[in-house]
Structure 1
Amino acid sequence: MKAFARIRIHLTLTLTSALRISSGQVAFLPHPKNEEKEIEYALVYRDVLGKPYLPSTSLRGLLRAAAQDISDPEQQQTLNTLFGSANLDDSGNHSRIRVYDARAKTAHTRITTHNKINPITATAEDKLLFKSESVDPGTAFTLTIELDDVSEAEKLTIIDLLLLFSETNPFQLGSGANKRLGEFTLNIDKIETLSQDDVYYWLQQKDCTELPYQPADLPQQTHATFKQQGLIKIPFSLYLKSPLLIAAESERKTSNNEEADPIKFKQRDGYPYIPASTLLGVFRSRCRHIISSLALSQQETDPEPATALKCLTETTDALIDSLFGNTQRKSYIAISEGSSDLPMSACTHKQSFNAIDRFTGEVKDSALFFAEACYGNCFNFNMHINSSALQAQNNGALLILFYALKDFTEGLIPLGWGANKGFGQVHLTAPTTHQIEAIDWSAMSRYLQTHQLDLEPKQLEQWQQQLSEQLTATEEV
């Protein structure tokens, strides 16, 4: 007989980044420039009271995936038994774990605008703007998990698993994992146990009473660990050499006789930010540019234009997918949102512009517009790299990554709106406690090595050889 008939664990799940988990339903907003049109956006899950919630299926799936990643084989086997299985040969066992929907204590949501970035030009694709609802970071959800017919060892194992989520962990909820959306922590608030004797005693009562759960001690330290995934987290800062403008969507229409709204920087609660999708899109575009350049330089013959274009596209797509994933595979690189410590009011750079008629070269009549960019501050973000998975591919993809980091460090990658007007000149640098400033590549290399990225000459030569073989093999095919 197992020690416990039932165990109930009460937890608090706290979001550390925005969460986008679509319910499949949509709502509509009025179009800012056309009263006859509406803008569709995806809704998060909401309960009957209108509060966001996390569906139990998503939470259970996440916990089961985490159970597969426990490094101790014995603990992993115990967890697999608790979660159950459904084998075709009738050798499966039913699950003894129930996970309930997580309800928000208080929650704030916002509607965010996204745009697909053209991988060739690194600019926003025309007519591919879309919106979605997300739950703000800091939102806390209450969560309950119940287990039936559990031994003392099984109880300790599931608690060890849950304690692994009390700090930073490699798992996310919802969509946008490569943008570091859906990050969270789990904290155990209370554990209640129900022994077999307690159930027997309760069944003997004539009056209808609640089950006599007994409080259990809260453990302070886990004895479990996740497998070494080679996931490296590197903090970066963006040093602004010129004004930077990540344009927010215009919210109202204007007429020819009315002064247009200024182009404003994306803000949240008065603070400017760079969406993770912007950073990831520009970084991906640079990697594509580097791969295409290397592939062209290695062509030994001069093939037909159509054949050359097809070969170049296949080579580039294969290597880009090995870095950033596709619909069939997960990305090995993730980038968080870029945040600023200064409010927009303390770093606003206002500038006026006038459109030029491209045929006459004269100033276009009634085409004066204004921009409110950001200048005099820096943006901090994190890059997460699964280095072990990238090295296991043996295709030199890591070398492409470092080429892109080098270009970013040297200020060769413009960011945001108005690059042809001198805006968006940024340098990737290492965050310090001192004043942020640009650094050279040798200093950045030393910084990367402190985060377990091997940049020794022998390693770089090996990646160069792997990349050369990959490009040559694709060309021959």
Structure 2
Amino acid sequence: MRSTLFTVRLRLATAGGVSAPEDLRTETLTSPDGEVRVRNTRPLRRDPTGAPHLPGTTIAGSLRAHCTTIPALRDAFGPAPGAETRTASPIQVLGSITRTTTPPQHRGRTAIDRHRAAARTHTLHWNETLVAGTEFDIFLRWDDATEEQLTALDAALGHWNPRLGAGASLGAGRAQVIALGHRSYDLRSEAGLTDWLAITGPADYPAPHPLTPEPPPAPLLQRTLRIVEALHIGTGTTRPADGGGDGEIADIVTRNGTPIVPGSTLKGVLRSRVEYICRVLGAPACEHADCGHCRPCLLFGHGAPDENGTPGRARIAIGDAEIRHARREQRRHVAIDRFTGGARNQLLYTHDVITTGEFDLVIDHLGEHEPDPTDLALLTAALDDLHDGLIGLGARTTAGYGTVELTHPGPSPARTDLSALLPPGTP
């Protein structure tokens, strides 16, 4: 008998991690002015020691999908879910350890009411995520594998670019293999058996050797946008006014001090506009993003249509975009008393805003098949509407905020062309 152990070192290229929704935390926060808020946080999955955990099921599922097209590895991770015949996987995922100790970060998100075009009540929540650069060591075992199979697995692991955990369509959890090592033990020989029995923990597993990470696939669509008018994408929290002044300042989303446009914001705006374009052209577009059949649902993902249905993952991923050359300012607003026509008491508030800067909107393809030209045409049309100022990003778009434009507008599909590509009907 011969047993082979693999050590795979993964590094997160974007923030992410496997969450534990069953451990949802509810915290009560009190602001400096005494306002009480409830914050729901979806935490990361952790092991018994409290360290962030990468489950073996997540690893095995990703590797199965990655190796399906390789003849020598087609059944190496067992049959796909739903297969009539069930067999054990020849490759065992022994577990993983987290190598990086950087504290996780928290990101707030909310849903938008489709009728009011404003934040939906009671949907603000927080996700706990590992920062980009977090590393994991993954340990695999394969008994009695042929040399051809071991060579194929070694090559496949070197080209593995997984997306681990939730938020794949928002660019979260994209990882790269940065080191790889394996060793075979002949348990029929005295030396091989002695070395095998000397393994007492992860430190005794084969040391991974550095390798050049596989570059990510080329994006489906990439455009640079310039901020034309003040942009405010808030965190849902406030901080005391600078210099100890009155009132509080509504914070903007940042990463390591750099302002960003979250992928969830970009995806939400593009989805809403694609739905609008489909309706204008008479194509199906459901109202609650859960039918699972219309073009927007297939492109951007959808929830479960009913209690017996299953949600579907998006065909595309839109990640966070860092704002370059950002100029940050504070703008004050006050509510007007409708009876006196003057300023209302205690309703002066301040927004952090970005008045100038530019960022790259990058859309990656997640599907197993080639990108659909109709999807690309719809996304291009939505970006044209963003460039023309018909829609905006972030808060207070009805007050002139959030206007952006493409730095290099390209050719856009005519509505007649889109109409020919989209079949009419109802979702």
TM over 0.5, yes or no? Answer: yes
Q: 1:102 to 1:235 in 2, by over 3 A?
A: farther
Closer/same/farther in 2, CA of residues 317 and 358 from structure 1, 3 Å limit = farther
Contact 1:108 1:139 in 2 (8 A): no
Of 21, 25, 43, 2:18 maps to 21
1:156 match: 151
How many angstroms does 1:52 deviate by? 0.9
C-alpha separation in 1, matches of 2:83 and 2:121: 53
User: What does residue 59 of structure 1 align with?
Assistant: 59
Partner of 1:245: 232
- Deviation for aligned residue 1:283: 1.0
Q: CA deviation at 1:333?
A: 2.4
Q: Distance in 1 between matches of 2:146 and 2:74?
A: 15
State the alpha-carbon separation in 2 of the partners of residues 331 and 362 from structure 1. Answer: 49
Between the aligned partners of 1:61 and 1:251, the Cα distance in structure 2 is 40
Q: Match for 1:289 among 269, 273, 276?
A: 276
Name the amino acid aligned to 1:391: D
Q: Deviations over 1:80-125 (max 9, x none)?
A: 3332349999976532211133221123201221101234554321
Q: Where in structure 2 are the equivalents of 1:53-452 lying within 5 Å?
A: 53-68=53-68, 70=69, 75-76=70-71, 78-85=72-79, 93-106=87-100, 107-120=102-115, 122-165=117-160, 169=161, 171-198=162-189, 200-201=190-191, 210=198, 232-251=219-238, 259-295=246-282, 318-327=294-303, 328-342=311-325, 347-358=327-338, 360-385=340-365, 391=372, 396-427=374-405, 429=406, 438-442=407-411
Deviation at 1:239, TM superposition (A): 0.3
SS in 2 for 1:124: coil
Evaluate the alpha carbon distance shift between residue 91 and residue 367 of structure 1 in structure 2; reply closer, same or farther with a 3 A threshold.
Answer: closer
Contact 2:252 2:259 in 1 (8 A): yes
| Aligned equivalent of 1:432 | none
Aligned AA for 1:193?
S
Identity between Structure 1 and Structure 2 (%): 24
Q: Which amino acid aligns with 1:466?
A: L
Deviation digits for residues 25-48 of structure 1 (CA, Å, limit 9, x no counterpart): 133322235777642312112223
Does structure 1 conserve the Cα–Cα contact (< 8 Å) formed by 2:323 and 2:358? yes
Report the Cα offset of residue 67 of structure 1.
Answer: 1.2
**What CA deviation, in whole Å up to 9, does each residue of 1:30-86 have, x standing for no partner?**
223577764231211222332212011111111011112x3xxxx33x213332349
Provide Cα deviations, 1:198-257, integer angstroms capped at 9, x if missing partner: 3x4555x7x9951699979969799x999xxx9843332220111111112225699xxx
* Structure 1 or 2: more helix by fraction: 1
**1:351–1:370 Cα contact (<8 Å) kept:** yes
Q: Does the 8 Å contact 1:122/1:281 carry over to 2? A: no
* Corresponding letter in the other structure for 2:372: Q
Alpha carbon RMSD of aligned pairs, Å? 4.1
TM-score (norm 1): 0.74
Written as runs of structure 1 = structure 2, the 5 A alignment for 1:30-69 is 30-32=28-30, 38-68=38-68
How far apart, in 2, do the equivalents of 1:108 and 1:426 lie? 34
**Residue 355 to residue 138, structure 1, CA distance change in 2 (3 Å):** same
CA distance in 2, matches of 1:312, 1:12: 41
Q: Is the 8 A contact 2:186 2:192 kept in 1?
A: no
Rounded to whole Å, the distance in 1 between the matches of 2:205 and 2:355 is 58
- Cα pair distance change 1:414/1:316, threshold 3 Å: farther
Conservation of the 8 A alpha-carbon contact between 2:199 and 2:205? no
Please give the secondary structure, in 2, of the residue aligned with 1:159.
Answer: helix
Counterpart of 1:233, as a letter, is L
Does the CA-based 8 Å contact 1:399-1:464 persist in structure 2? no
Equivalent residues, number: 409
* Alignment TM-score, normalising by the size of structure 2: 0.82
- Between structure 1 and structure 2, the one with the greater Rg is 1
Please tell me whether the aligned partners of residues 32 and 250 of structure 1 are also in contact (alpha carbons under 8 angstroms): no
- Superposed displacement of residue 136, structure 1: 0.9
